[in-house]
Structure 1
Amino acid sequence: MKIHYLQHIAFENPGSILSWAKENQYPISATHLYRNETLPELDEFDWLIVMGGPMNIYEEESYPWLRAEKEFIKTAIERKKVVIGLCLGAQLIADIIGGRVIRNQHKEIGWFPITLCENISDYPEFSFLPSSPIVFEWHGDTFVDLPKEAILIATNEGCKNQAYIYKKRVYGFQFHLENTMTIIEDLIKNCSDEMVPERFVQSAEVITAHNDYIEQDNKWMKMFLTKLAVMYEEEEI
C-alpha cells in the first residue's frame, strides 16, 4: 500500500501520519506544491492525503497550482483511491464533490471538543473515539451544502461541519489529529496574525500547554489509519 501526500506550505507536514507509515513500512511520497513540484501519476499510489494550509481554496491567482491540484484530487476520487483531507484538504475535497466553502461564523484556533454524530456507530474505523474528543483546530473557513453521498460524522459549537465521509473511502476532517508540537509551534510562529482574541481563539500559551492533547490526538490518528488500512487490505472499502 503506497501513500502520497500533497503539502501546501513548508510548516504543515503530515506529522504523526509520517511516523505511522514508517512504523508500518508503508512507502510514502510527497508533492510539495509550494515548490511547484510535479504531481505523480495516479498508479503510483493507493492513498492520497491532502494537507492543510493558510490559503483559501479559491486563491488560484495567488496559488496557481491549486487548479491542477483540484483536478488531481477529483481524478483520484473518481479512480476510487482512499483520499483523506485535513483542514484545507477537507475543504478542497468538499468543493470538488459539490459542496461549498465559506467563511465560518467563528474562527477556531486551539483545543476544542467535537461531538460525534449518532451515525458514527456505522463506521468501525472510528470505534475507539470517545463521544466528545478534544481536537486541534486552526481555520476560518468551513464546508457547507455537502452532497447527499457525504455523511456528516462530527460537529461542534464553533463550527457545525467538522468531519464527513464520502462514498466510503473519502474522508474530510476540519480538525487536526496529526499535528505534533513542532507543527503547532510553527503555525503559531508563522500565522500569529490570525490569533486575534475571539470566543474560539485560544492564546499561544494555552495551546502549547497541552502536550497531553497532542499525544492523544496522534494516538487516535494512528488508530484510525490502522483500522482503515485493515479495511482497505481486506477490500471492505
Structure 2
Amino acid sequence: MVQKIAIFQHVPNEPPGYFETVFREKNIPFEYIRLYETNEVPRHQDTTHLIFLGGPMSVNDENEYPWLKQEKELIRRSVKAGQKVLGICLGAQLIASAHGAKVYRFVNETGWSPISRMQNAEGIFSAFPDQFHVFQIHSETFGIPYGGRLLACGNNVRNQAFSCRNACGLQFHLEMTGDIIRDWSKDLGSYQRAKIARDTPRYLAESNRLCRMVAEDFIR
C-alpha cells in the first residue's frame, strides 16, 4: 500500500514528468525533496516509496554535493527495509553505487536510441517489448551490483536497467514529455535538435506507455 512517495529532485529542470501524471491520475500522494534547495536529505518516517531523479552531477561528486552520500545511505536503508525504490539516470547510478558497484565516465548518449529487454528479465520488464526506443542524456555508466539483475541492455552502453532486491534503476528517461524534451534540447547543436524533433513523434507515445507500466507496477 502506498502511503507516500518521496521524489528526490536534484535540479529544477529534471522533474518526474509523466510519472507525476500517472500518480495524479490515481490520487497517489507524493512530495518533492528538492535537494538543490535544501542541500540535505531529510528523514522520512511516513514515506513508503522513493524515486531518485536525474541530474548533471556524478554520484562520485560527494565532496561537492554531500547529500549524494546521504542519498546512498537512505537507499541502502530503504532497500533493506523492503521499501520500493526507483532510480532514473543519476538515480539508477545512485542505487548501483549505494550497493558497491562502480560508476564511471563512458559513452555520451543523447536523444532517442533503441535498447533491448533481456530475455530473462523479471518483474514488469518481462512485459516490455523485445526492443524499444528510450530517451537518453548521460555520459556515465554503472556496474550491476552484487545480487542485481540486468533487465535491459543497449548497443553503445550495455547496462540500461537493473533490479536489486526491491530497487529498480533505469539509465534512460521514461518520464519524458514534449515540454521536457524541448527544454533539454534547446542548448544542443542544430543536428541533435533536429534529430530529436524528428524522432520524438515516433517514440514518445510508446515511451509514455512504458512509463505508465513502470509507474503502476511501482505503486501496486
- The match for 2:180 is 183
| SS of equivalent to 2:131 | coil
Given residue 111 of structure 2, which amino acid in structure 1 is its aligned partner? G
- The match for 1:170 is 167
Deviations 1:185-235 (A, max 9, x none): 222236x3xx6x9xxxx71111123134122211211122223433xxxxx
- The match for 2:207 is 217
After superposition, where does 1:112-123 map in structure 2 within 5 Å?
112-120=113-121, 122-123=122-123
- The match for 2:23 is 21
Kept in 1, the 8 Å contact 2:17–2:175? The answer is yes
Q: Return 5+ residue gaps in structure 2 as ranges.
A: none
**Alpha-carbon separation, structure 2, partners of 1:228 and 1:12:** 20
- The match for 1:207 is 196
Kept in 1, the 8 Å contact 2:145–2:164? The answer is no
**Alpha-carbon separation, structure 2, partners of 1:211 and 1:6:** 29
Q: TM-score if structure 1 supplies the norm length? A: 0.85
Kept in 2, the 8 Å contact 1:135–1:175? The answer is yes
Given residue 222 of structure 1, which amino acid in structure 2 is its aligned partner? R
**Alpha-carbon separation, structure 2, partners of 1:24 and 1:211:** 26
Given residue 137 of structure 1, which amino acid in structure 2 is its aligned partner? Q
- The match for 1:235 is none
- The match for 1:143 is 142
| SS of equivalent to 2:173 | coil
**Alpha-carbon separation, structure 2, partners of 1:224 and 1:119:** 17
After superposition, where does 1:63-142 map in structure 2 within 5 Å?
63-104=65-106, 106-120=107-121, 122-123=122-123, 125-142=124-141
Kept in 2, the 8 Å contact 1:181–1:208? The answer is no
Deviations 1:152-196 (A, max 9, x none): 0111111011110111x2100101111112222222236x3xx6x
Identity %: 34
Given residue 152 of structure 2, which amino acid in structure 1 is its aligned partner? A
| Count of aligned residue pairs for this structure pair | 217
**Alpha-carbon separation, structure 2, partners of 1:102 and 1:127:** 28
Q: Return 5+ residue gaps in structure 1 as ranges.
A: 231-237
Q: TM-score if structure 2 supplies the norm length? A: 0.91
